[in-house]
Amino acid sequence: MEAMTEQLGEHRYEPVIGLEIHVQLATRTKMFCGCKLSFGDPPNTNTCPVCLGHPGTLPVVNAQAVHFALMVAEALGCEIAPRSIFHRKNYFYPDLPKGYQISQYDIPIARNGELGGVRIHRAHLEEDAAKLVHAGASGRIHGAEASIVDFNRGGTPLIEIVTEPDIRSAAQAAEWGRLLRATLKATGVSDVNMEEGSLRIDGNISIRPVGQAEFGTKTELKNMNSFRFLERGLDAEIARQTEIVKGGGQVEQETLHFDPTTGSLSSLRSKEEAHDYRYFPEPDLVAIAPTEAMLEKASADLPELPTARAERFERDHLLPTDQAHLLAFRGELGDYFEEALASGGDGGGDLDPTALANWVTSELVARIGDTEPQDSNVEPAALAQLVGLVSSKTISRDAGKEVLDVLAESGGEPAAIVEERGLAMQGADELSEIVDRALEANPQAVEQFKEGKGKAIGAIVGFVMRETKGRADGGEVNRLIREKIGS
């Protein structure tokens, strides 16, 4: 990815971006208590004395959350700490019932990884805060506005992933974010849905003269809930910082919010003026020291990840890079492709993976939209058969699209549909005979073509297409006509 640089005076400036990602884990229960996780339930219906922070309560670590953390650590190529501990991060806010968050500080569970050319600084486990909802008209306290706290979300297990500031443009940030999302989705540890909040991305951005080692002052951009907004927000902030530096000013450290509807950045009131979290080791929890068995299970439960899968598609199936990526990064498409490929096609001849990939990523996707391919009416074996029929020139590509329309609508078997609708292209002899008749029927066109008017062939082709009800392969017709005319 090329760094985007801005010319400013004698300096060229480059953006320096690091991302901080919070991933809500798809465990059944919360990080430190047995309350179930379920989004969208009525407020305060999934709570207990522990996640409400009642006096005398104590946390107990969710084994599955640790398992997921080990999986993520491996998926991101991290070093796993032989022993990691929890810390208390102390501050006051209504969404934090204990007045501290149990997190990890200087000894996180994972460190020093890499994904898609971006280094991972660390990954650690922590608990999510509760939700503050503005009370609106229904609640004012002594004339002041009120909020309602809903503790359902409080205590949800989170993995926080922090990258090194290796990203050099907003576009790269968005693309890398998509790679991270696809990778995490493949592991199954989270729904990674940005709109629902199970994947949250904050960015740290600064700019510096190209070639300078020191970083400029960074700002933080929070809560962008799509990759498009992430990219736009980062671009906006880069532009803002560039303006400041151009004008001879200093970038101030602050936390910002990007409003995608207006495209503007605004400063967020910080939760604490003094970010003194007074971290100390959590005395109520003991260390996590992953055993051989725990590490093996994490490895065993990791499926093939997108980057590896894309590489395999390129290598083993000779798919072009962009097709390989498309299929690898959307797991369900990749699965569908592989299932179709395995079924062999039996439309005649070997199934060409690239041709199949093309049909999956363009024609199939166009017809089924957001539905998962496995849930569509098009069976993988059916698509494979269809692709085979087209490749072997049994039917034309256009006819193929027609068959796919039918499959998408109501399922079925391509061969049967071709038969039913008489979509089969003519055999070579039959076509040859029709071309002969076409030439007989259009002597003027033949003459004109012989004289060099290339467009005259159109009338002859048209005759053939009418005779074959459009099912002939246009290229083949063209070829036969020319062959027979003798030019």
Which 266-325 positions form the footprint of other proteins (CB under 8 A)? 269, 271, 274, 276, 278-281, 283-289, 291, 294
**CB neighbours of residue 375 within 10 Å:** 8
Considering the complex, state which of residue 66 and residue 406 has its C-beta at the smaller distance from other proteins: 66
Site for other proteins in 31-50 (CB under 8 A): 33-36, 42-49
Residue among 3, 4, 52, 171 that touches other proteins (CB under 8 A) = 52
**Binds other proteins by CB under 8 A, chosen from 142, 247, 266, 316:** 142
> Which residues between 98 and 137 bind other proteins (CB under 8 A)?
98-100, 132-135
**Phi (first) and psi of residue 368, to 5 degrees:** -105, -10
Distances (CA, A) of 150 to 52, 128, 129, 192, 289: 10, 12, 10, 22, 34
Least distance from C-beta 280 to other proteins, angstroms?
6
Residue 81 within binding range of other proteins, rule CB under 8 A = no
From the CB of 57, what's the least distance to other proteins, in Å? 7
Quick one: tokens of 456? 């005259």
From candidates 7, 10, 137, 138, binder to other proteins by CB under 8 A: 138
Q: Distance between CA atoms of 74 and 159, rounded to whole angstroms?
A: 13
H/E segment holding residue 373:
none
In a 3-state reduction of DSSP, which class is residue 161?
strand
Q: DSSP assignment, residue 371?
A: S
Structural contact between residues 117 and 131, judged by C-beta atoms closer than 8 angstroms = no
* By CB under 8 A, residue 97 contacts other proteins: yes
The minimum distance between CB 39 and other proteins, in angstroms, equals 15
For the bound state, the minimum distance from the C-beta of residue 287 to other proteins, rounded and expressed in Å, comes to 5
DSSP assignment string, 69-124: HHHHHHHTTPEEPSSB--EEEE---TT-TTSEEEE--SS-SEEEEEETTEEEEEEE
Using CA atoms, how far residue 89 sits from 52, 156, 186, 277, in Å, is 17, 16, 31, 5
Neighbours of 202 (CB within 10 A): 17
For other proteins, how many residues bind (rule: CB under 8 A)?
75
Nearer to other proteins, 103 or 396 (CB): 103
**Orientation angle between helical segments 397-410 and 414-421, nearest 10 degrees:** 110
Cβ atoms of 55 and 247 within 8 Å: the answer is no
8 is an interface residue for other proteins by CB under 8 A = no
Q: Which is nearer to other proteins, 59 or 414 (CB)?
A: 59
CB closer to other proteins out of 146 and 210: 146
Give the dihedral of Cα atoms 163, 169, 174, 175; nearest 10 deg. -90
56 binds other proteins (CB under 8 A): yes
Q: Does residue 253 belong to the site contacting other proteins (CB under 8 A)? A: no
CB closer to other proteins, 159 vs 383 = 159
Closest distance of CB 290 from other proteins, Å: 8
Contacts of 408 (CB under 8 A, 6+ apart): 364, 367, 368, 376, 377, 378
Residue 53 interacting with other proteins (CB under 8 A):
yes
Nearer to other proteins, 65 or 182 (CB): 65
By the rule CB under 8 A, 63 interacts with other proteins:
yes
Nearest approach, Cβ of residue 3 and other proteins (Å): 35
Tell which one of 2, 40, 55, 250 touches other proteins (CB under 8 A).
55
Position 64 contacts other proteins (CB under 8 A)? yes
Q: Is 141 in the site for other proteins (CB under 8 A)?
A: yes
Residue 92 binds to other proteins (criterion: CB under 8 A): yes
